[in-house]
Structure 1
Amino acid sequence: MYHRKSSDENEQYFLPADETEFDRLDMAHHLQLLILDGELHKAPIQNDPANVLDCGTGTGIWALDFGSIHPGSKVIGVDLAPNQPTWTYPNVVFETDDLEKEWTYQKNHFDFIHSRMVGSAIRDWGRYTRQMYEHAAPGAYVELSEHSMWTYCDDNTQPPTSISLTYFTHLTAALSKLNIHTRDFSSRFFRSHLEAAGFVDIQVFVYKVPWGTWPKSRKFKHMGAVCSEVCRTGIEAYGLMAMTRLLGMEESEARAICTEFVDTMYKAKEHIYHLQ
């Protein structure tokens, strides 16, 4: 369908599972490193935490990087889709499972739980964060990294008729049919769920990530270029399936929206960004 291999017929995971998508996920990992100035996480990890859980591991690249730096840690990478490599470090294992179901791990077990970019798959954030709390060891760190599924602009270069707003309006409507409400995503939203679950000493970091090479600073221009490459195939990966399968839109119309969005992004006349 759409010349992209589907990962599952289940609507819960509607993104493709092909080499194009795997490359995009690895590039998204590189973008995350740029955002965090080369660091794998913000949590003040010391030494090698004994048990680490990487939620939404994707291609497994974060879990592998962490495992290589922390050989004394046992790292479990879990994802709904089996997109991970067959080769891994001795201290890294991958599991295919649904994080929204009851976790079967030992309670009070993990010293570090890392969750990144699972926003388009989690329906019940209250339950998700509660299970994190139940399975985190006393004194453990939990880190969530998500991004807004909306674009913003500070200088009025994005008109109300922008194709980016059209695209995200459709995507938001599509995901809401799966009970995934991405317009709620904000630092306040995630903080409230962590607090309700019982977590303390919560720190929030918010970053502006440009779409396109419009920033003047060298750092953010490079970040925008990498983000554009991530989004080049990501716009289609998210948009086509969501708009056709969930909204009943004709494929030609959905593809036209995606193509126009990518073209607009590369022209960089609209100074747009997302929050992460």
Structure 2
Amino acid sequence: MATTIPIAANDLNPAPIEANDEVTSDWDEESIASSTQSLSESIREHVYENGRRYHQKSKDQYMLPTDETELDRLDMVHHMHLELLEGNLCITKFEEGADPANVLDCGCGTGIWALEFGDLHPGSQVIGLDLAPIQPGWTAPNVKFELDDLEKEWTYPKNHFNYIHSRHLIMSIKDWPRYIAQLYSHIAPGGRVELVEHTIDKSYSDDGTLLEESPFNAYWTALRPCYEKLGINWRLHGTHYKHMLEEAGFEDVTIYTLKVPAGGWPRDKKMRRLGSIFAQVASTGVEAYGLGMLTSLGGYSVEEATELVKNSLVPLRDPKVHAYYFEYYITARKHAWEGDTPLHLQS
């Protein structure tokens, strides 16, 4: 896959991102806009706290809001991944005309990935699964959305899906080995899974410009006790997911490690645009991730949590702070039984 963003298999320590020392402001990129589809939801299924809307039935399991601001952010995250993969929806590559018959998108969010995959692969039947009803009321003939909890026992047939896509569930999955075991049970022999996850422990810099006591890292440090109360493992990195996939029985497990700049500080134009998109995501994302947890689990008042969130954004606007975080794409295959015709994939 030709790309100006270096993506190398099993590269656990990507090269440093070169900074553009001539940049004086992080906000000189064009404004990135995204839209969400009109939604059909019942107001009785939501609660309002601290000016944000949360899905009532799943709030104890998923602490992020489900209001329009958050739906816009989720679609922006999808756009950011398209930037990362040069417009591709996933790293797994299918031969032309060889659409995977049955596809599951775990934690589909607004449904944008499932809808675009179904459009690109008309021969696929795509199911988008999520806890909250935040998907559009209309859909394509080969795409449908279902509401369920991925950590409960799956009711889908065993050995059924030819491709399973799972993105950014670090805030949702408490028992990762069990979740991955269910992926293995329900993927068809020869089928593929793709996990996409990111770090939530802290932010990083290669040149020391992001100090450990930075307001951005203070924000992540404050969230750690909240994660632990929710049963979220904030220490997970790419190698942990790779190991769990292998333990579950998957083969050809490959990890792609990418550094995503937290702001428009890189010299490379592509990376600078990517960092600017992330800055837009973070402008509402740090509140989405933190405000509810800090006030309900962290012992913070609304004013204290709001101040912490506000201060955490300051380093992202400083082009002299060369911060980044990690995105991991991990692909794996289930062994094909003898006599089975596996899904044809590009090497």
Shorter-normalised TM range: over 0.9
Q: Where does 1:1-276 land on structure 2 (aligned, <5 Å)? A: 1-8=49-56, 10-46=59-95, 47-149=98-200, 150-183=202-235, 185-276=236-327
Answer with 5-14 or 149-158: which moved more: 5-14
Structure with the higher helix share, 1 or 2: 1
Corresponding residue pairs, total: 275
CA distance in structure 2 between the partners assigned to 1:266 and 1:33 by the alignment: 23
CA distance in structure 2 between the partners assigned to 1:145 and 1:85 by the alignment: 23
Answer with 197-206 or 172-181: which moved more: 172-181
Letter in structure 1 aligned against 2:321 = E
CA distance in structure 2 between the partners assigned to 1:160 and 1:50 by the alignment: 48
Residue 270 of structure 1 aligns to a residue in which SS?
coil
Instruction: Report Cα offsets for 1:211-240 as digits up to 9, x if no partner.
Output: 111111100000000001011101000110
CA distance in structure 1 between the partners assigned to 2:198 and 2:290 by the alignment: 16
Report the alpha carbon displacement of residue 48 of structure 1 after superposing the two structures with TM: 0.8
Report the alpha carbon displacement of residue 268 of structure 1 after superposing the two structures with TM: 2.9
Answer with 37-46 or 249-258: which moved more: 37-46
CA distance in structure 2 between the partners assigned to 1:20 and 1:269 by the alignment: 29
Letter in structure 1 aligned against 2:67 = D
Gapped regions of structure 1 (runs ≥ 5): none
Letter in structure 2 aligned against 1:85 = P
User: What RMSD in Å do the two structures reach over aligned CA positions?
Assistant: 0.9
Gapped regions of structure 2 (runs ≥ 5): 1-48, 328-347
The answer to whether the 8 A contact 1:114-1:142 is kept is yes
Instruction: Report Cα offsets for 1:59-94 as digits up to 9, x if no partner.
Output: 000000000001110000001111100011000000
Using structure 2 for the length normalisation, give the TM-score.
Answer: 0.78
The answer to whether the 8 A contact 1:117-1:147 is kept is yes
Report the alpha carbon displacement of residue 251 of structure 1 after superposing the two structures with TM: 1.1
**With CA pairs under 8 Å and 6+ residues apart, which has the higher RCO, 1 or 2?**
2
Letter in structure 2 aligned against 1:16 = P
The answer to whether the 8 A contact 2:223-2:298 is kept is no
CA distance in structure 1 between the partners assigned to 2:223 and 2:60 by the alignment: 14
CA distance in structure 2 between the partners assigned to 1:177 and 1:250 by the alignment: 18
Instruction: Report Cα offsets for 1:110-141 as digits up to 9, x if no partner.
Output: 00000000110100000000000000000000
The answer to whether the 8 A contact 1:111-1:139 is kept is yes
CA distance in structure 2 between the partners assigned to 1:269 and 1:87 by the alignment: 45
Residue 85 of structure 1 aligns to a residue in which SS?
coil
Instruction: Report Cα offsets for 1:184-234 as digits up to 9, x if no partner.
Output: x11110011101111001111000000111111100000000001011101
CA distance in structure 2 between the partners assigned to 1:66 and 1:171 by the alignment: 34
Identity %: 48
Instruction: Report Cα offsets for 1:92-121 as digits up to 9, x if no partner.
Output: 000111000000000000000000001101
Letter in structure 1 aligned against 2:301 = E
Report the alpha carbon displacement of residue 269 of structure 1 after superposing the two structures with TM: 2.6
Instruction: Report Cα offsets for 1:158-195 as digits up to 9, x if no partner.
Output: 11210111111112221111111112x11110011101
